[in-house]
Structure 1
Amino acid sequence: MKAEISQSMLKQSSEQDINIFTAKVLSYFNPKFEDPEVEEKLACEDIKRFALRCEITEEEFMLALDLATEGKLQTAPDSAGNVENIKLYREIDIIKLGEVKAAYLRFKNVDEKYKNGKDKITAFLNPPPVELTPEQKKEIRIKFLKEEFSRLQTKGEVLGSIQFYDLLRKEHKVIKIGFVEKFLQTVKLEEYIDAGRSTEVHKASSKKVIKKDPFLEFKELFVSSYIIKMKLKDVTEEKWIEHWEALRQSNSEK
């Protein structure tokens, strides 16, 4: 079956694709956070860590989530041969993500229902290539920009720093040394988060270490600094869209 799937495995995907996958999974689970500022970041890091070791494609994993929601994925048999349906909850758990992946692989390789529906799944995973029209591409861009503007207004940050950075880098090929110094002085490549919500002070098991990608941290700081400098949080949604669309058009003309 592997030879029939043309998409790359998640662990072989680009940084941008991993970030898009992270946003899709977060949106799928739509978790309710007690402390959104901390817990959403923790959830995103868990999804990325899972993706970087995942040997199935993004399309397969999203299909696996649908199958689990429909009660079609099961746990491995216990010593008595009993199985249970994989259950999803509105929380991001790296162990649960692994269970979904493992259950999907069993479903794909063993389950008779999968074998009978092989052509249908193959068609789902390998749809004929469709070239989007300029109008469709613009519709996708506008939807993305509207979502990011809303996030900026409610949370003070954007999720698609990589996409914004790619637009900015052609216009800003030279960066002031002061900005680089600021980044080097303030960047933290490890962050300790209280993942266990323990009431015991300094309990080691309640601490979780998040290792950060320095290049991604640089992109996020660069984009956030640009947004602040250009006062883009204070403009209307229409002006926000016009700004980035004009920058995209300028890039395409170079």
Structure 2
Amino acid sequence: MSSDSLFTAVGAVANAFFLLTGVYIYVSLARQISARTADASIPSSRTFGPPEAMLASVLVGLFLANLASARGHSPGVLSTRDILANALISIALFLFVAGFLRFRGLDLNSLGGLSKIGFWRALGTGMILLFAAYPLIFLADAVTRRILGSGAVRQEIVELFNSSQTVRQRVLVILLAVAVAPLVEEFIFRFFLYGVVKRYFGRLAGLTVNALLFAAVHAHLPSFAPLLVLGGCFTIAYEWSGSILVTMAMHALFNSLTLIVLAFPSIVQQ
């Protein structure tokens, strides 16, 4: 056997091992979640009700309308104002939903498990669970490549980074990717939308709807399957850990690694 064949075989075995490890970890988490009693998953404080369901429906409608309007429109030259507007809209949405929930008397700390675990534990747990999710994401991307003849997980934040023209723009994109997007998207998708759908239709429906919507709003067909898997892993991690901080950490790390690969393409095999 030649050295090239040996390396290929070793690589295939390693890839299979990491894939099976990722599947095992997330299946184990899902089984642990399903084994919990109903009472154990219900917080002692007030939970989402009809007003939250109405707000969630409005948000989903807005996301889908924005997705429909974005079809067929190619992005133009990106300006610093565009990046700032994107960040401000995201933050405004976060503040509006959080303010609405507080006005309704809901305890965000209890519902989101903000004080359930510390920062470093959330970061460490997020790193491990993201590492376990990557083989599943790569598999989804490989299947997409085989079917569509293209692939690569190109999120909106990736498009922003690739379109940025100046150092200032790239710094803003990095802040948007590492700080704003994980905070806002995890709060909206995992904490709020998943929480509302789960409240009325159960965990499985919540996970399915959440992952589908999360993948769809990024409006890029080749990345739909990988982002669907990523969204599902985020949701399982949130449900298992009981803290939205874990998925925020996972999301921030995922975006950080994506931007590192874009900034230093020589560190990965092209």
TM-score (norm 1): 0.28
Q: Which has the higher helix share?
A: 2
Q: Which structure is richer in relative contact order (CA contacts within 8 A, separation 6 or more)?
A: 2
